[in-house]
Amino acid sequence: MKEREHLIYKYLRSSKRFPHIWCPGCGIGILLGALVRAIDGGGYSKDDIVLISGIGCSGRLPTYVDFNTLHTTHGRALTFATGIKLANPSLKVIVVMGDGDATAIGGNHFIHAARRNIGITSIVINNQTYGMTGGQFSPTTPFGLRTSSSPYGNLESTFDICGLAREAGATFVARSTVYHARLLEEMIGLAILKEGFSVVEVMSHCTTYFGREIGLESPVEMMKWQRDNAVRVEKAEELSEEELRNKIVIGVLVDREAPTYHELYEKLIAKCRLEDNAL
């Protein structure tokens, strides 16, 4: 393969904005690679894609890729994405958020985007902390963990992102770790293909803040932990609740069909125009 045909040169804005802002060993780079490969494998034109982010460690990701991109405000990425999808339903709209961005300040938007089943691919990078602002506990931080904002231990229960997406109405829900990079690529590809609201939770690692609090001091150690504690969904169905405690269930968790909001919206507009013309 010729050097200029490599995906780096095809999809990344390699002439600017580098080196990137992520810490050495951060899992977001693995997610970026999986996302680019999934888009390339799907045969989409770069003009077909709109990549949107909010604020946080993942917020800079759209800056690095040569798609239609938008860097929005904290917790509001899905609202911008909704407007874009309604304005041009032919676009593949992908939103990248962190766990805090998506489920704390953006929690209501996440719930209602799923409830509406609008055709957006939502990628939530879950590193279980607020990595950009100092390692405070987030909605997904394990109970009891000491963080910069919970020096005596986190008193809040851990939030189940995929469980919320399922119950709120998302038609495709999947989870992978960044260790399972090929599975992650596959899950993103399936999510983009889905017409309704799709969610891919990406279990990543924060080596700067989260790792040191759980006694894992290097990216290699943290990725080995992902490897050793991830369970494929097919295997998980054979295990008890106790056996699955503290495990990460990976794979496709939900895949169902339902009318999408933008399809219903277009039908309503067409109906109203017919009625107006009949007057």
Q: Which of 51, 6, 4 is nearest to 31 (CA)?
A: 51
pLDDT value of residue 1: 47
* Greater pLDDT, 149 or 264: 264
Total count of domains within the chain: 1
Residues, the chain, total?
Answer: 279
Give the mean pLDDT of the chain. Answer: 89
Q: What is the pTM of this model?
A: 0.92
Residue 81 predicted with pLDDT over 90: yes
pLDDT value of residue 144: 73
The pLDDT confidence band at residue 9, using thresholds 50, 70 and 90, is confident
Residue 39 predicted with pLDDT over 80: yes
**Per-residue pLDDT tens over the stretch 160-199:** 999 999 999 999 999 999 999 999 999 999 999 999 999 9
Read off the pLDDT of each residue in 4-12 and give the average, rounded to a whole number: 76
Structural domain containing residue 244:
3-278
CATH code: domain of residue 128: 3.40.50.970
Residue 64 predicted with pLDDT over 50: yes
State how far the Cα of 152 lies from the Cα of 270, in Å rounded to an integer.
Answer: 58
Q: Which of 18, 60, 21, 23 is nearest to 205 (CA)?
A: 23
pLDDT value of residue 145: 76
* Greater pLDDT, 149 or 232: 232
Read off the pLDDT of each residue in 98-125 and give the average, rounded to a whole number: 93
State how far the Cα of 176 lies from the Cα of 182, in Å rounded to an integer.
Answer: 9
The pLDDT confidence band at residue 44, using thresholds 50, 70 and 90, is very high
pLDDT value of residue 53: 95
Q: Which of 116, 79, 117, 111 is nearest to 95 (CA)?
A: 79
pLDDT value of residue 279: 65
Read off the pLDDT of each residue in 84-106 and give the average, rounded to a whole number: 93
pLDDT value of residue 4: 45
Residue 117 predicted with pLDDT over 80: yes
The count of other CB atoms within 10 Å of the CB of residue 162 is 19
Q: Which of 38-52, 203-217, 219-233, 253-267 has the lowest mean pLDDT?
A: 203-217
% pLDDT > 70, the chain: 96
Residues 24, 56, 203, 67, Cα dihedral to 10°: -90
The pLDDT confidence band at residue 5, using thresholds 50, 70 and 90, is low
Amino acid at 87: A
**Residues whose CB is less than 8 angstroms from the CB of residue 100 and which lie 6 or more positions away in sequence, other chains included:** 56, 130, 138, 139
The pLDDT confidence band at residue 140, using thresholds 50, 70 and 90, is confident
pLDDT value of residue 52: 97
Residue 97 predicted with pLDDT over 70: yes
